[in-house]
Amino acid sequence: MSARIVFDLDGTLIDSARDIQGIANAALKSVGAAPVTLEETHGFIGEGIHVFVAKMRAARGIPDSEQERLLADVVSRYDDAVTLTEVYPGVRDMLATLSSHHQLGICTNKLRSPCMAVLAHLGMGELFGTVWGGDNPLGRKPDPAPLLAAFADLGEGPCLYVGDSEVDAETAQRAGVPFLLFTGGYRRTPVESIPHAAAFDHHAELPAIVEGLLASA
Ligand SMILES: O=C(O)COP(=O)(O)O
Ligand SMILES: [Mg+2]
């Protein structure tokens, strides 16, 4: 049975935290603040770049009045922040396998422009029938609207959402679709506390999980 499978991006298909840390620290340097660590960066990703910058400011005691200036600084560097990003092990084979039977899409809170830039840089731009970024007019995850729109773009068939975070799990729940949790991304809480239909540690596991869920649906 052909299904519609939508993926989150940061922390799910790609490990982009080093690039995001780099542009965050360039912005922090411009206001004389100390850099953020990779671990802090993981904790700030997932709710869009506005929230990232707000959390980054809070961690360094930078006032609200600096939000827009820092946000503009980070966004201005975002399209070029691709060189340190890595595709998680097994992702390319997994996508090749799934795309031969199913329709694939992306629903991320990353802005659409850097999302398309990093997908193009990694040679993955052609695999997805639809891409919804965090600056779409319908809303941002955990609002289910962009996820539902992504599924609608992909036509017919059962729906699955694959992500790495608490926000993704809530989005799937609100959209009424099964959630598949990649445990190796940027989640902040234990796997057991994040609602999921299935969890996996390596992307090579995903095609069999998908077929199992579709067979039992
Ligand atoms: O917070 C972001 O900018 C993007 O994160 P996501 O791809 O995990 O939705
Ligand atoms: Mg994510």
Last residue in a domain, options 78, 105, 124: 78
Distances (CA, A) of 202 to 89, 102, 168, 184, 198: 7, 20, 18, 8, 12
Candidates 8, 10, 15, 19; catalytic one: 8
Whole-angstrom distance, CA of residue 185 vs CA of residue 174: 21
Q: Is 205 helix (H, G, I), strand (E, B) or coil?
A: helix
Whole-angstrom distance, CA of residue 166 vs CA of residue 182: 11
**What does 58-127 look like in DSSP terms, one character per residue?**
HHTT--GGGHHHHHHHHHHHHTTTTTT-EEPTTHHHHHHHHHTTSEEEEE-SS-HHHHHHHHHHTT-GGG
Nearest CA to ligand 1 atom 5: 46
Q: Tell me, in angstroms, the distance from the centre of ligand 1 to residue 183's CA.
A: 15
Q: What percent of the chain has pLDDT over 70?
A: 100
Average pLDDT over residues 105-124: 98
Average pLDDT over residues 57-61: 97
Average pLDDT over residues 136-148: 98
Q: Which CATH number is 96's domain given? A: 3.40.50.1000
What pLDDT score was predicted for residue 70?
98
Residue 153 among the catalytic residues: no
Q: Which CATH number is 65's domain given? A: 1.10.150
User: How confident is the prediction for the chain on average, in pLDDT?
Assistant: 97
Last residue in a domain, options 78, 97, 115: 78
What atom of ligand 1 comes closest to residue 111's alpha carbon?
3
Q: CB neighbours of 56 closer than 8 A, spacing ≥ 6?
A: 24, 27, 28, 36, 40, 44, 62, 70
What pLDDT score was predicted for residue 190?
98
**124 and 24 together in one domain:** no
Count of other CB atoms within 10 angstroms of residue 112: 15
Q: What does the block give as tokens for 174?
A: 């609100």
**96 and 41 together in one domain:** no
- ipTM for the complex shown: 0.95
Ligand 1 interacting residues, C-beta cut-off 6 A = 8-11, 45-49, 52, 108-110, 134, 165
Whole-angstrom distance, CA of residue 108 vs CA of residue 168: 9
Last residue in a domain, options 78, 97, 120: 78
**141 and 45 together in one domain:** no
pLDDT at 212 > cutoff 90: yes
**58 and 131 together in one domain:** no
**58 and 136 together in one domain:** no
**73 and 131 together in one domain:** no
**205 and 178 together in one domain:** yes
| CA dihedral angle for residue 21, residue 27, residue 32, residue 36, rounded to 10 degrees | -20
Whole-angstrom distance, CA of residue 168 vs CA of residue 95: 19
Average pLDDT over residues 52-74: 97
Spatial contact of 107 and 150, defined as CB atoms under 8 Å apart: yes
State the alpha helices, DSSP H only, in 124-183.
145-153, 166-175
Distances (CA, A) of 83 to 20, 51, 77, 140: 11, 23, 12, 26
Q: Which helix (H) or strand (E) holds 53?
A: helix 49-59
**58 and 145 together in one domain:** no
**Residues spanned by the domain of 69:** 17-78
What pLDDT score was predicted for residue 48?
96
What pLDDT score was predicted for residue 217?
79
Whole-angstrom distance, CA of residue 75 vs CA of residue 77: 5
**36 and 102 together in one domain:** no
**44 and 66 together in one domain:** yes
Confidence of residue 166 (pLDDT cuts 50, 70, 90): very high
Confidence of residue 178 (pLDDT cuts 50, 70, 90): very high
pLDDT at 49 > cutoff 90: yes
Nearest CA to ligand 1 atom 1: 46
Average pLDDT over residues 144-171: 98
Q: Tell me, in angstroms, the distance from the centre of ligand 1 to residue 50's CA.
A: 11
Give the count of domains, the chain: 2
Q: Tell me, in angstroms, the distance from the centre of ligand 2 to residue 60's CA.
A: 23
What pLDDT score was predicted for residue 1?
78
**31 and 95 together in one domain:** no
- Sign of the alpha-carbon torsion through 20, 71, 123, 206: positive
